[in-house]
Amino acid sequence: MTLPAIDPQRLFDVSGKSAIVVGATGAFGRVACATLGAAGAKLTIAAGNAEELEALAVELSDARVAVQRIARRSNSEPDARVIVESAVAAHGRVDILVIAAGMNDVAPIIDMAPDRFDRVIQANVAGGWLMARAAGKQMIAQGQGGKVVFTSSARGKLGHPAGYSAYCASKAAVDGMTKALGCEWGKYGISVNALAPTVFRSPLTAWMFEDNENATRVRTGFLARVPVGRLGEPEDLAGPLLFLCTRASDFHTGHVVYADGGYTAG
């Protein structure tokens, strides 16, 4: 029996692919930009803060990444459509969509006004739905498949006692949307998956990595649930993201991939 003909470099190749990263200036968005840019993809980066977006575009250009920037959030159908149109104008097509935009708002449910809940759902669910819809139309029209990666969380699977009713609900919705679109778009060769991290090093979580009494206490309690015994690093997300954006994941769709050190396995 002969060995199967497998070319790992071809399986994980995104060179020349047109990739949109929404929420590009956030912690995971920057990981996505760095990963796909270093792997040779042409990027269209979108975020609401024009100044931060410009700074990121300069960093990527200095690293010789082909990059188009558009200072918009996918808060409406026109915004989502313009982001996709910008990618097509700059790079000719759309092959990959990474939805890294999102927010959290922590409060006990009895203290959370409905408009605060609505903002979390808009940022984490409705915005992603609009962006997937716009990019999906383009991918279907191209007729060559594509890759969509949502950002979920361990909190889409597990609850939390500290006021996470909006966030957990939103990420569970992302998981459901991932599965539904994975079923709906399989016939078009469009793989739809979600990457679900837990705590990884970023400006928002930097305090958990510090060497002080409060950080040590919180970190120790959290790590008691993490089999690998450490917090995440940006590199821990890069590998699974690249997998989900390449032909290596062509037979994977509707899946939530937990990059969590085993946190959700227990």
Active-site residue set: 167
Longest dimension (CA), the chain: 65
Q: How many CB atoms lie within 10 A of CB 82?
A: 16
Q: What type of residue sits at position 87?
A: A
Query: What is the C-alpha to C-alpha distance for residues 28 and 35, in angstroms, rounded to an integer?
Result: 10
Query: What is the C-alpha to C-alpha distance for residues 37 and 22, in angstroms, rounded to an integer?
Result: 14
What does the radius of gyration of the chain's CA atoms come to, in whole angstroms? 18
Structure tokens at 139: 């991918």
Query: What is the C-alpha to C-alpha distance for residues 184 and 37, in angstroms, rounded to an integer?
Result: 29
Query: What is the C-alpha to C-alpha distance for residues 187 and 103, in angstroms, rounded to an integer?
Result: 32
- Beta-sheet pairing, 190-197 with 18-22: unpaired
What 8-state DSSP symbol labels residue 2? P
Query: What is the C-alpha to C-alpha distance for residues 257 and 46, in angstroms, rounded to an integer?
Result: 24
